[in-house]
Amino acid sequence: GIKNTNVPNLDGSINNTDDDEDVVDLAANSLLNKLIRQSLVESSHLVEVLQKDPSSPLYSVKTFEELRLKEELLKGIYAMGFNRPSKIQEMALPMMLAHPPQNLIAQSQSGTGKTAAFVLAMLSRVNALELFPQCLCLAPTYELALQTGRVVERMGKFCVDVQVMYAIRGNQISRGTNITKQIIIGTPGTVLDWCFKRKLIDLTKIRVFVLDEADVMIDTQGFSDQSFRIQRALPSECQMLLFSATFEDSVWQFAERIIPDPNIIKLRKEELTLNNIRQYYVLCGDRKNKYQALCNIYGGITIGQAIIFCQTRRNAKWLTVEMMQDGHQVSLLSGELTVDQRASIIQRFRDGKEKVLITTNVCARGIDVKQVTVVVNFDLPVNQLGEPNYETYLHRIGRTGRFGKKGLAFNMIEVDKLPLLMKIQDHFNSSIKQLNPEDMDEIE
C-alpha cells in the first residue's frame, strides 16, 4: 500500500493538493468505515488461536451469559442489540476476561467486533467506586478516540458511575486537576503529555491498556515510540491488548515488542473473487466517447445502482458534471471532502437516494454497498509505471464468494489501453468480453 505521510486534520480531511490520485489515509478510511457500518462483517474462515501457554485449555463462548458479566454490563450489551458474541469475540472474550488477566494480540478486518470486545473488557475490569484512571486506550486520531468512547458510553449505559475522559489535543485541562474518570481514551502524544509532563494520570494504577488500530498507529510518525514510552511505565500486572485490522510485518513486529507474553487471535479476511462477476469491455476513443458508451449501456439495460470509478479527481468531476447535465442523479465521492461529508454521501447512496456514485480509487476502498450490482471502470486502475493495478481492479469489482451477490462490470477502454485489459484478464484467468455498446443484447 501507499504510505501515508499526511497527518489528517481535526475534521478528518486531508491536506492533499495532488489532483492525480487521492492518498490513502488509513485513519480517515477507518473512521469512514465506522461511521457507515451498521452490522457485523461476516467471515467464513476459522479463527486461528495461538495460546501463550498451549497446554492450558482453550475456552470459547457461544453466549454472553457464559462470561458471568456484571448484570449492568450484560444489560448494556443486550440494549445494543447484540444477541451472541461475534466469531472473534467467541475466542477473545474468555481470554480477555480471564483471571489472572491475559494479554492479547488480535487481528481481524474492521467490522468483526474488536472494539466491542475490548470495551467489554475495560468495562468489566473497571471499579466504579475508585475515582481514578484504571483503563487506558490509545487510538490514532481524535475522531477514532471519540468513536470508541461512544461505544463505551452505549455499552456502559447501565454502569452508572463509570465515566470516560478523552486525552486528545484540544481538551484543555489544568495542571493539578484530579482526574476521577476511570476510562481514558486518547491519542499517544496527548496521553504521554498527561502522564509525564502534567502528571494527570498515574500509569502505575492502570489495569487495562488497549492499543487500538495498531496498523494505523504505526503509520503515523512518532506514535509507536510514544506508545512504547507509555507502555514501559505500566505495572507488570496490567493487562495489555492490541488490535489491528491488518497484519503486515511492521505491525507484527510492533505488536510482539509491545505486548509481553501474548495470546494471539487471527481471523482471516474473506477473499475477493471475480467468479460471480460478468465482465465486459467497450472500446472507445476519447473520454467523450467513453461517456457516450456509458450512456448507451445505461439506456440499454436496467441498472439498479452503479458505482463508476475514475483514475483521477479531474475525470471524476468532469463525468459528474456531464451526467448531471444529462439529468442523471449522481453523487461524487471525492478525496477533498471531510470524512463526515463522505460518510453522508455513502449513506445517501446506500439509502437509494442517488442511483450513481462516481468516485476515485481510494475513496471507495473497503466500502461495501451490497445492493450495487453494476461497477463501471471509466478508467482502468494503473500504477505509477502505467502497469495495471490488479489489486485495485479486484477491490473495485470483486465480491466475497460466499456472501456476495452476482454482479456486472464494464470497462471503458481506449484502444491503446487494450493490452492492459488483456493483462488483467490473464492475471485473473477470467474472461472479459467485448461489448458493442449499440447492441446490448450481448449482455446475457
Residues near ligand ADP (CB under 6 A) are: 37, 39-40, 80, 82, 85-86, 89, 110-116
Least distance in Å: CB of 91 to ligand ADP? 13
How many C-beta atoms lie closer than 10 Å to residue 374's C-beta? 20
Helix axes 71-79, 114-125, angle to 10 degrees: 160
Nearer to ligand ADP, 86 or 141 (CB): 86
Least distance in Å: CB of 87 to ligand ADP? 9
Least distance in Å: CB of 281 to ligand ADP? 36
Nearer to ligand ADP, 139 or 195 (CB): 139
Least distance in Å: CB of 80 to ligand ADP? 6
Name the helix (H) or strand (E) containing 330: strand 330-333
Q: Are 114 and 108 in contact (CB under 8 A)?
A: yes
Q: Are 50 and 273 in contact (CB under 8 A)?
A: no
Coil, strand or helix at 9: coil
Nearer to ligand ADP, 119 or 195 (CB): 119
Least distance in Å: CB of 251 to ligand ADP? 15
Nearer to ligand ADP, 35 or 179 (CB): 35
Nearer to ligand ADP, 89 or 263 (CB): 89
Name the helix (H) or strand (E) containing 273: strand 272-273
Least distance in Å: CB of 86 to ligand ADP? 4
Name the helix (H) or strand (E) containing 277: strand 277-284
CA distance 386 to 371: 32
Q: Are 413 and 378 in contact (CB under 8 A)?
A: no
Nearer to ligand ADP, 39 or 384 (CB): 39
Least distance in Å: CB of 115 to ligand ADP? 3
Q: For residue 339, what are the contacts with CB-CB under 8 A and spacing of at least 6?
A: 11, 12, 13, 28, 31, 32, 35, 143
Least distance in Å: CB of 113 to ligand ADP? 4
Least distance in Å: CB of 235 to ligand ADP? 26
Nearer to ligand ADP, 86 or 220 (CB): 86
Least distance in Å: CB of 243 to ligand ADP? 7
Nearer to ligand ADP, 107 or 315 (CB): 107
CA distance 42 to 307: 23
Q: What is the DSSP string of 34-48?
A: HHH--SPPP--SPEE
Nearer to ligand ADP, 312 or 344 (CB): 344
Cβ contacts of 298-304, under 8 Å, gap ≥ 24: 298/328, 300/437, 300/440, 300/443, 301/440, 301/443, 303/355, 303/373, 303/374, 304/355, 304/371, 304/372, 304/373, 304/374
Spell out a b/e string for 355-369, using b for 16 or more CB atoms within 10 Å of the CB, else e. Answer: bbbbbbbbbbbebbe
Q: Are 107 and 246 in contact (CB under 8 A)?
A: yes
Coil, strand or helix at 111: coil
| Closest among 198, 209, 263 to 232, alpha carbons compared | 209
